[in-house]
Chains A and B, each alone.
Chain A
Amino acid sequence: MSEAGSTRRFRVFRFKRGDMDWHFDTFEVPVGPSSTVLDALRWIQRKLDRSLMIRHSCLHASCGTCGMQIDGREALACVTAVADLGGTVTVEPLANIPVLSDLVVDMEEFYARFPDEIGSTRASEGPAGAEVPEGIDAYERFEDCIECGLCLSACPVSATSDEYVGPAALAAAQRLLEEPRGVDPAGVLDWAAAPNGAWRCHAAFECTEACPSDVNPAARIMQLRSVLVRGGAKDGAA
């Protein structure tokens, strides 16, 4: 927020435990050409309202903690430039996940949707041919999914049912079929074939549009279905 610039109006969703209902507060925020929505929210927190609750960590789209709805679209606030938005910016918490306070949602309910066997690391694709240092078996890297919850918020099916496990969990299941890492694929397929699993998806592809990490959850759900249609995990991955 150091650059000289204009002022933008931010309509921010507010709710505290014990409140009868949620409401919006409006703040005038000075912004510069490179200001992000997270910059603006932190400025509000520092200068105008210390009680505003936001969640963030890495500031560069790696941790997935600052996911929210910005003008109705799911995005990571840390990499959403205010300059790309209109004169009034509406900021709301992620949809379809219970609100803890203001823009913070209860991610425990999101994580609980994942299959138990999910892994957070995968075999690394590179560097090709590089020698593995002594003391480690192989290079690994984190999964693409940063578990930000944007896909669940964007999903129109999740908007009408809390029972549907949602795109992130199903994409994680497909990853387990792709790279089982010692997990029995049959158990994962049984989980995915349940009534609130892969067949509940209506192929709106909004999860893929919202995903900031190129996971492409919708295509993974379709690949999962393809395996289910073919009658199981005989081929491992789709």
Chain B
Amino acid sequence: MSDRVPGVQERGERGPVRRKGVGVPTSGWFDPRGRAIGGFAFAVNRITGLGLVFYLYLHLTVLSLLLRGEQSWNDFLKLATSWAFLSLDVLLLFGLLYHGLNGIRVALVGTGVVPNRQKALWWSLGVIGTILLIGGALHIYGSM
């Protein structure tokens, strides 16, 4: 009988799960709409984490130039001391500082040491990170 009643079969099915974000369903963690500091901190932490993994492989690839001889390495060094390449170093420094300092914040908050101070920690470590980033950038560009 239930086969003849409209909608009975459909009502038994599981509905779709709405996800945040645009594009692929798993982009929900990246949806910036209405997020607060903690949400942005989490998203940037993931992005810098992915960036650092990418850099690790890039670094190993670059080091493999040594296998091609001295000339190959010297050619790379010319490129590596250009303004544009050094800017990538500053970007790398940002990724390292952000991921490392946010890691300290998450560890302090996430183990219950200061569970209610995540925003204050973010701003405090943000100031420290910005100072270190500016100092590092001046040092990197000063080496040109």
Contacts and interface: CB of A to CB of B under 8 A. Distances in A.
B2 interface: no
Contact of B115 (A13, A22, A99, A222): A222
A159 B19 contact: yes
Interface string A111-154: 00000000000000000000000000000000000000000011
Contact of B18 (A71, A94, A201): A94
Interface residues of A, number: 48
B16 A229 contact: no
B13 interface: yes
B29 A209 contact: no
A226 interface: yes
Given A72-B31, A205-B36, A156 B43 contact: yes
Contact of A93 (B18, B112, B113): B18
Interface string A194-210: 00000001111110110
B97 to A, nearest CB: 18
Given A159-B28, A219-B116, A223-B112, A202 B42 contact: yes
B11 A17 contact: yes
A217 to B, nearest CB: 11
Interface of B: 7, 10-11, 13-21, 26, 28-31, 33-39, 41-43, 45, 106, 109-113, 115-116, 118
Interface of A: 13, 15-18, 22, 69, 71-73, 92-101, 105-106, 153-154, 156-157, 159-160, 162, 201-206, 208-209, 216, 218-219, 222-227, 229, 238
